[in-house]
């Protein structure tokens, strides 16, 4: 497991304590640092961007992203969508009670 200082350094922050400041809410994650921090944390950059924008709630930038992109899709979700499209021959299948139950069963719900 990496320390916050190691993550900060890997993400290119001059102040390695920046990760701690972001985590505590004392500082906002600069949007231009999302890709490097996502790589340092080995997390999906789209999801990290979504979380970073939530820190900027109320800002014009956050509202603009929400308006344009609505729901951010992660790389893993893209994989699921690709499989659904291939399995359905790109027929844009409707979610039925049966298909919803099958998906939920995969996750034990």
The tens digit of pLDDT for each residue in 18-52 reads 999 998 889 989 989 999 999 999 998 988 988 88
Q: Is the pTM of this model over 0.75?
A: no
Q: Are residues 46 and 88 in the same domain?
A: no
- What is the domain extent for residue 101? 75-106
Q: Are residues 28 and 60 in the same domain?
A: yes
CA-CA distance, 11 to 33, in Å (whole number)? 7
CA-CA distance, 8 to 3, in Å (whole number)? 9
What percentage of the chain has pLDDT greater than the value 90?
47
Q: Are residues 55 and 102 in the same domain?
A: no
Q: Are residues 46 and 25 in the same domain?
A: yes
Read off the DSSP letter of residue 32.
Answer: G
């Amino acid at each position: 497991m990496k320390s916050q200082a190691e993550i900060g350094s890997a993400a290119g922050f001059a102040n390695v304590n920046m990760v701690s400041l972001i985590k505590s809410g004392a500082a906002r994650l600069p949007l231009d640092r999302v890709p490097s921090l996502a790589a340092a944390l080995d997390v999906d950059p789209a999801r990290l961007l979504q979380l970073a924008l939530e820190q900027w709630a109320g800002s014009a930038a956050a509202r603009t992203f929400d308006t344009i992109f609505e729901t951010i899709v992660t790389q893993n979700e893209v994989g699921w969508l690709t499989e659904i499209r291939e399995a359905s021959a790109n027929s844009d299948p409707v979610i039925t009670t049966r298909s919803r139950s099958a998906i939920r069963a995969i996750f034990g719900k």
